[in-house]
Homo-oligomer: A and B are copies of this chain.
Amino acid sequence: MGKSERSLPDGWTTAPAEALLVANAAPVAEYDPSSTPGYSGDKNAGTAALAKRGEYLADLQEMLFANGRAGDNRSVLLVIQGMDTAGKGGIVRHVGGLVDPQGLAIKGFGKPTPEELSHDFLWRIHRALPSAGKIGIFDRSHYEDVLPVRVHHLVPESVWSKRYDLINQFERELVDAGTTVVKVALVVSPDEQKQRLTDRLADPTKFWKYNPGDVDERGFWDEYLQAYQAIFDLTNTDYAPWHIIGADRKWFSRLAVCELLIDALERLDLDWPDADFDLERERARVAAL
């Protein structure tokens, strides 16, 4: 079904994949992390919508998986970036958790290991790409190599500055090979981040989520905004566009990512694969059991 023929999901006044494009948004330093562009519903409506749309997402995911089994080499890759406490893990859990976990290829990219550092920055990325029929979810990604790496001068500018083009080339190859790349940047406000850090320190069941380094990183807020603006300016391609999603309202960021995945899967124009066997013959064999 073509994009133009599709109706808007309930509560949306603009198609999510349009409304959330970074190309249609303010510069990140001016972006309102509590905004819900394109969506007119409130928290209750958005929470209910996530559950309902999640069932549809699960159906589409199963169809993608079925086609992968039948020889279709296509896949989807969701790239999630965002500052600490923006809710990246919550997206993986609450959006990824809507579909069959067998169809997911989830990878979190932390501080590189010595082995990873001994290779090109895309080495560990390649190894984690989704296979045919799968939805890959990257919690952080190759963009780390132009975000904290740039902010903290972990490599010389002569090195990181070349990575934007390398990333564009890499994503071009990915898309050409059949992977739909969905890139989302979660933007949290300083106030909300402070609240989330405070909450983690107030609840013994959340201590394990608290990382003192998050407070250190907070001191580089403006540098991170500049680094994010750079990826939006330099890696926002037509084949792999960036979406920006306000993260202050978790219910919205989850619904938004769910809708972006639905959009990506709908654009694959999937159908259930044909039988790759002689249907009548097999029906007769089974009837004779």
Contacts and interface: CB of A to CB of B under 8 A. Distances in A.
Interface stretch (A121-129, A156-164, A270-278): A270-278
Interface string A275-289: 101010011011101
B283 A201 contact: yes
Contact of A210 (B104, B139, B275): B275
Interface of A: 66-67, 69-70, 89, 92-93, 96-97, 99-102, 104, 106, 108, 139, 190, 193-194, 197-198, 201, 204-205, 207-210, 212, 215, 218, 272-275, 277, 279, 282-283, 285-287, 289
A99 B229 CA distance: 35
> How many copies of this chain does one complex carry?
2
A210 B100 contact: no
Contact of A282 (B210, B275, B286): B210
12 contacts: A92-B102, A93-B101, A96-B101, A97-B101, A102-B108, A193-B289, A198-B283, A204-B275, A210-B277, A212-B285, A215-B286, A218-B289
Contacts of A287: 198
A199 to B, nearest CB: 10
Contacts of A193: 289
A69 B100 CA distance: 25
Given A207-B272, A275-B207, A198 B93 contact: no
Given A92-B101, A210-B282, 17 more contacts: A66-B209, A67-B208, A92-B100, A97-B99, A97-B100, A101-B104, A102-B106, A102-B139, A193-B289, A197-B286, A198-B286, A201-B286, A205-B272, A207-B275, A210-B275, A210-B277, A212-B282
